[in-house]
């Protein structure tokens, strides 16, 4: 059976599974500090309707109006062509969902939580707010407007956060163009609730601190909105979607003994990020993290704390963080930009989730949304 077949699921089966999961969760008291290690099993289902092995991209110089690779965030904001960015993100959604209309595409990517209207759904967008590089307003605002204008969510239920570095987010980076009422939540209480962390970190025998709203099941939809920066060799010499969640879980254990890539991989297998899972199969019953997007309008070879050093005018999108990171590292950072990648680490991101480079969609190449 082809992996695209194995990961496919009918809408009827999905709704039946999520309803059963919701019933099971409501049958007993809510446990805010899970002690049983529940984790995604390699090869399990990630998203009910989107191929997890597909990564789409757009590289378009029209997304900015001038070249300044070393520009600070305020200057980047001035140079971004917001309407072109929004138009290209719609094209990327259609290419990712393989749909011919914008509304159908976004409606296929973002799955309404069971037994809730979109107007009641709580949406969290994890942005990267460390040091000198920041998410661009055009990218964040487009995502928020998809939820409000296309799907019918309420802006007051949308929270942009970085639980580690988000302090004073609204003051330091007043993001423009967001639907009125959108919450720049900053640290959003921080990573302050303990939860189990599965293998490979510490053999699945330890807990760590995570954003409480995720541990308590208060978030319905999670979007991973990452930047494209360099990092140490233990992370593959890059940081994108997976490591973006060092601002969801506390980053400390990842930098300590036995941490490294083990901790990074482990936290990205948790139900806090991926969503509630069937303990027998490791399949995600209802996906919480429904989109992974890399904002590479500006990017950097070194990092993570320094300024940008290049202006690729690019965006990447998929639904599976390790796949987006692998394809982004190998095809974008290495091949397009000529930057060094620790390939063994990048390959491990795939294999730990049960994937291989040979199985990737489009021969492992980025699907060009602008020519699709």
| Helix, strand, coil percent content, the chain, rounded in steps of 5 | 40, 15, 45
The parent domain of residue 26 ranges over: 3-368
CA distance 267 to 67: 37
The token duo for 370 is: 């602008």
Backbone φ and ψ for 161, nearest 5 degrees, come out as -145, 160
All residue ranges of the chain with pLDDT < 50 are 1-35
Determine contact, residues 112/288, Cβ cutoff 8 Å.
Answer: no
Length of the chain equals: 372
What is the reported pLDDT for 320?
Answer: 98
The token duo for 40 is: 């995604």
Count structural domains, the chain.
1
- From residue 204, how far is each of 112, 265, 283 by CA, in Å? 31, 12, 18
- From residue 65, how far is each of 223, 316, 347 by CA, in Å? 27, 20, 36
pTM for the structure as a whole: 0.91
The token duo for 205 is: 């025998």
CA distance 243 to 197: 15
- From residue 312, how far is each of 15, 183, 284, 301 by CA, in Å? 40, 29, 34, 11
Which neighbouring-strand residues pair with 314?
59, 296
What is the reported pLDDT for 37?
Answer: 60
Cα four-point dihedral sign 281, 318, 326, 217: negative
What is the reported pLDDT for 5?
Answer: 37
Residue (of 218, 214, 225) closest to 191 by Cα position? 214
Task: Write the pLDDT tens digit of every residue in 98-142.
Answer: 999 999 999 999 999 999 999 999 999 999 998 789 999 999 999
CA angle 40, 21, 350 (to 5 degrees): 15
The token duo for 269 is: 């297998």
What is the reported pLDDT for 227?
Answer: 98
Q: What is the DSSP string of 47-73?
A: -SSS-TT--EEEE-GGGBSS--TT--H
HSE, CB side, 13 Å, CA atoms: give it for residue 44.
Answer: 23
- CA 283 to mean position of chain CA atoms: 18
């Amino acid at each position: 059976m082809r992996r695209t077949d194995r990961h496919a699921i009918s809408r009827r089966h999905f709704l039946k599974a999520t309803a059963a999961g919701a019933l099971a969760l409501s049958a007993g008291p809510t446990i805010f500090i899970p002690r049983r290690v529940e984790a995604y099993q390699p090869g399990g289902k990630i998203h009910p309707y989107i191929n997890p092995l597909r990564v789409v991209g757009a590289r378009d110089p029209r997304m900015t109006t001038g070249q300044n690779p070393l520009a600070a965030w305020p200057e980047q904001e001035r140079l971004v062509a917001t309407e072109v960015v929004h138009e290209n993100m719609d094209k990327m959604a259609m290419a990712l969902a393989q749909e011919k209309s914008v509304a159908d595409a976004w409606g296929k990517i973002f799955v309404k939580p069971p037994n809730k209207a979109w107007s009641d759904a709580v949406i969290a967008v994890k942005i990267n707010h460390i040091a000198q590089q920041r998410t661009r307003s055009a990218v964040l605002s487009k995502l928020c407007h998809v939820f409000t204008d296309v799907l019918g969510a309420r802006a007051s239920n949308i929270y942009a956060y970085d639980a580690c570095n988000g302090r004073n987010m609204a003051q330091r980076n007043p993001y423009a163009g967001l639907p009125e009422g959108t919450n720049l939540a900053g640290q959003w209480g921080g990573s302050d609730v303990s939860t189990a962390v599965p293998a490979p970190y510490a053999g699945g025998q330890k807990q760590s601190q995570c954003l409480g709203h995720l541990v308590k099941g208060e978030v319905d939809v999670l979007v991973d909105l990452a930047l494209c920066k360099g990092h140490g060799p233990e992370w593959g010499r890059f940081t994108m979607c997976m490591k973006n969640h060092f601002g969801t879980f506390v980053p400390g254990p990842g930098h300590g003994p036995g941490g490294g890539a083990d901790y990074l991989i482990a936290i990205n297998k948790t139900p806090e990020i991926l969503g509630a899972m069937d303990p027998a199969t490791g399949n995600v019953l209802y996906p919480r993290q429904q989109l992974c997007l890399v904002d590479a309008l500006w990017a950097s070879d070194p990092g993570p704390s320094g300024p940008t050093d290049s202006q690729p005018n690019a965006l990447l999108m998929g639904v599976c963080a390790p796949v987006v990171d692998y394809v982004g590292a190998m095809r974008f950072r290495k091949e397009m930009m000529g930057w060094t990648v620790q390939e063994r680490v990048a390959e491990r991101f795939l294999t730990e989730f049960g994937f291989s480079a040979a199985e990737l969609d489009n021969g492992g190449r980025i699907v060009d949304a602008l020519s699709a």
